[in-house]
Amino acid sequence: MTTFAFIAKPRRMMLSLCVALPTALLGTGLGEFAMTTPNIAITRQAMAQSQNLEAAENAVVYVETDRGSGSGVIVENDGLIVTNAHVVAGARTVNVTLRGRSVPAEVVAIGNQNCLDLALLRVANHSNLPTVKWGDISRVSKAQEVFAIGYPGAVQSTSATITRGIVSNLHASRGEIQFDGSINGGNSGGAVVNSNGELLGIATSKLVGTNGYQIDGISFAIAVDKVLTFIESYRRNDPALIGKAILPGSNPDSGHLVQTLTLDGQLTDGVLQQGDSAFCGDSTLADVYVFDAEAGQGVMIDMISQDTGVGLVLVSPSGQAIAVARQEGRNQAAIVLKKLPETGTYSVIAKANQRDRNGRYQLRATEPMLVEEGTLNGRTRTCSDSGHRCQTYPFQGRANQTITVILHQSDFAPYLVLLDSSGQPVATGQTGEAFINFTLAENDWYTLVVSNVDSADSGQFRISVHDTETLIASREISQR
């Protein structure tokens, strides 16, 4: 009996507890009940994140070329797509999968993977396409969670894959985000987004070791501010060197990536500072200027800075660097003098001479009356009975105008003759001087004759003719 009583007592206690429990629940507030319900807030957050990533995924497309495949991101609903330059570089055909079918795409802008590895594609006759939401690079931080969305080349799939990672580092000077998400070649050109589905960058590469193998856990994306700047450059029809020779700045001091340069000798004040563009060849800060000119036209450009050494690069309309000048020291002018080879829009890169150097500078461009490069040799025609050979160059002058002839280089002792339109000499003589001044008598066409003192001499020369008043103003820059 004693044993039975010992067992029965706990059973009555449990019955009493079961009766009391509903009453206790009726008196519990909603907030207290929610605290005892597991993972409701976490579940809602996960659902929102899933919806954001799904929206971002809808804007990521598969890009296929005759050279390989990659990914792209729709940035305008009428069919503008951003991808990597290396995905489409050299391709004869480019196709994009939209709404389940492959359509042709045109490459409308392209950088260079050694500078800015971005390209823009355009698909025709489309509207209301899903587009990506833009993120803010200033709000990206280390250890932030990110997601890479793309089409891995080794995986056959009708939908993009999403991989998770964290931001490992930010490389502001290169405009890159380093993260540890797993990507491969097919992800190139795809989106790297935050948990809100906002674009933080375009996946571009994995780190490659000295043995040529990719290093897992070290991936890179081109930061969203560089992507936006590249798109804006395309919209503004900026020079093709943007993204190829120039890494565009996200905050240029002028407010524009490209400025107009006049050839009238007007002084332009500029500043090289953080946020400006960079010259991809040596990562120096750089500003870009443009001017229109015709084939055969001459140009002289001076740049000088009290803060740093400077350099100039003159780029032709076809994208070729046709003249380069550089000065290491402060207050030394870099001067480009060139007879232009083609008609079109030329670009001038005004840059610091060393990486991480900055400061103010002055820039000036003038149009010389004549710029010529020539050669005296056995094939050059003779112009005297004594067998001297010569080259002749006409130019137009005005009455009482003082001109300056500059002999920039010569492999021989030169003899110069200035003729008027009737062929009569205005001035003659041997020169060993770099600068020679003449005053013209009237409005007329004149001819500059370059010959040699010794008829046996030969070699190359470069010479120019300037309005002295304009030239003095230009030379004053180099003396400040």
Query: Is 16 known to be catalytic?
Result: no
Amino acid, single-letter form, for residue 85: A
What residues have CB less than 8 Å from 300, skipping those under 6 apart? 335, 336, 337, 365, 366, 367, 368, 371, 464, 466, 474
Query: Is 388 known to be catalytic?
Result: no
Could you tell me if 267 and 360 are in contact, meaning their C-beta atoms sit under 8 angstroms apart?
no
Q: Which of 78, 102, 117, 422 is catalytic?
A: 117
**Strand pairing class (191-193; 176-179):** unpaired
Q: Quote the DSSP letter at residue 132.
A: P
User: What is the distance, to the nearest Å, from the Cα of residue 201 to the centroid of all Cα atoms in its chain?
Assistant: 16
What residues have CB less than 8 Å from 229, skipping those under 6 apart? 248, 249, 250, 257
Half-sphere exposure of 102 (CA within 13 A, CB side): 9
Token pair listed for 374: 């020539």
Half-sphere exposure of 379 (CA within 13 A, CB side): 4
Token pair listed for 284: 């120096």
CA nearest neighbour of 253 among 223, 229, 278, 277 = 277
* Number of Cβ within a 10 Å radius of residue 131: 19
What residues have CB less than 8 Å from 157, skipping those under 6 apart? 151
Phi-psi region of 146 (alpha: psi -120 to 50; beta: other; left: phi over 0): beta
Q: Which of 50, 69, 86, 307 is catalytic?
A: 86
Token pair listed for 453: 């003192």
What residues have CB less than 8 Å from 443, skipping those under 6 apart? 397, 398, 399
Token pair listed for 368: 């010389």
**Strand pairing class (198-208; 145-150):** unpaired
Q: Which of 102, 126, 182, 188 is catalytic?
A: 188
Strand boundaries in 145-249, DSSP class E: 145-150, 161-171, 176-179, 191-193, 198-208, 214-223, 246-247
Enzyme catalytic residues? 86, 117, 188
